[in-house]
Amino acid sequence: MTTAIEETLVLVKPDGVARNLTGEILRRIEAKGYSLVDLRMLQADRELLANHYAEHEGKPFYEPLIEFMQSGPTVALRVAGNRVIEGFRVLAGTTDPTAAAPGTIRGDFGRDWGLKVQQNLVHGSDSIESAERELALWFA
Ligand code: RTP
Ligand code: MG
């Protein structure tokens, strides 16, 4: 069994904040044994989001995604733990809330009601490189 203490960026997206799910999401992260290292609440601007979602530029959901992410405040979390990058994505569940397994954040709370973009409550970095890049952006 290898040990790999990592840090990841978790975002409670505007839908999660608006639906008062920030506490529930934090509770699940802490219950799993991960540690909260830093936290901030902010209204993301277009420049930050364009950087954050650069890999998706040009995809059909890109513009709706950037708009949705500016629709209200986001809570950004710096979370640490053993294999937390993969571990948080397991807690979150798959991107599509309809397909996400019950017991996951998206499976339990995510909504997919013909919206322009999947409003799936959370973001979690998907690799060590993404985590470093995204943490630098959101905790500049
Ligand atoms: P995230 O980056 O937010 O953790 O989510 P992810 O890896 O599971 O999904 P990704 O493919 O990176 O997509 C980023 C976010 O874009 C929205 N999206 N909507 N077809 C759609 O409606 C669609 N596809 C992607 C979601 O908010 C997704 O989390
Ligand atoms: Mg992603």
Is 133 among the annotated ligand-binding positions?
A: no
Instruction: Please tell me the distance between residue 102's alpha carbon and the centre of ligand 1 in angstroms.
Output: 18
Structure-block tokens of residue 8: 């990841």
pLDDT recorded at residue 53: 98
pLDDT recorded at residue 95: 96
Supply the pTM of this predicted model.
0.96
pLDDT recorded at residue 114: 85
- Every domain of the chain and the residues it spans: 5-138
First-last CA distance in the chain:
34
What is the atom index within ligand 1 of the atom nearest the CA of 89?
4
Strands (E) located in the chain: 5-12, 35-42, 74-82, 122-124
Catalytic status, residue 123? yes
- Does ipTM surpass 0.95 in this model? no
pLDDT in tens, 47-67: 999 999 999 999 999 999 999
- Report, at the CATH architecture level, how domain 5-138 is classified: 2-Layer Sandwich (3.30)
Measured CA to CA, the distance from residue 126 to residue 29 in angstroms comes to 16
* pLDDT at residue 1 greater than cutoff 70: no
For a ligand 1 pocket test, name from 89, 95, 125 the mutation site with the most ligand atoms within 8 angstroms of its C-beta: 95
pLDDT in tens, 106-137: 999 998 888 889 999 999 999 999 999 999 99
pLDDT in tens, 30-48: 999 999 999 999 999 999 9
